[in-house]
Amino acid sequence: MTALDLAAHHGECYRGVISMQAASWTPLSAEAAALLAGQTVAPDAGWTDHLEHAAVASASKKLTSEQEIELRWLQRSTSQQAGKFDGQAWASHDLRGRLGDVRCPVLIVQGTDDFLVQDELVDDTVAEMGSVAQLLRVPDIGHYPPFENPEWAAQVVDDFVKAVTVTAG
């Protein structure tokens, strides 16, 4: 979502922007929004377990057991407050109505195994951006494309950078 925000507010500064697993906004349930907004005192002891479960569940179904262990470790090694504030920012950021003025090329990558960012939200984002947006919807990738398949993600980035460099040059 940060990449989309940069394109919306400073697109003239970039030859292109890549956004992975993002949409112009991400609605949450009322319960999740209340928790992230701080209406509860603090995440309870099970919060880290919830973050681990959500991370693994939103990843590719083809995650190896070693990748799953690493992803759980990454979630556990971050503080509960960092997870809370990251979620709060993610849930409260809304770029609807601001993406139509983006002028630089934008590649939006969405893994089909990610349940956190739904197809409809991504489709609406691409539609608002119009011809500057290109959608790459990828099977067997979840919420963490560079983690789940780093070689593939690097190739996607490399191909896009080359394409926008040739176009700009």
- Tokens 């011809």 locate to 131
CA angle 64, 68, 72 (to 5 degrees): 170
pLDDT band at 85 (very low <50, low <70, confident <90, very high): low
Residue 83 confidence (pLDDT): 61
- Tokens 């922007």 locate to 17
Residue 120 confidence (pLDDT): 92
Residue 80 confidence (pLDDT): 58
Query: How far is the C-alpha of 91 from the C-alpha of 74, rounded, in Å?
Result: 21
pLDDT band at 72 (very low <50, low <70, confident <90, very high): confident
Residue 78 confidence (pLDDT): 61
Worst-scoring range by mean pLDDT, 39-43, 66-70, 137-141, 147-151?
39-43
Query: Residues 112-125: pLDDT tens digits?
Result: 998 888 899 999 99
The pTM score is: 0.73
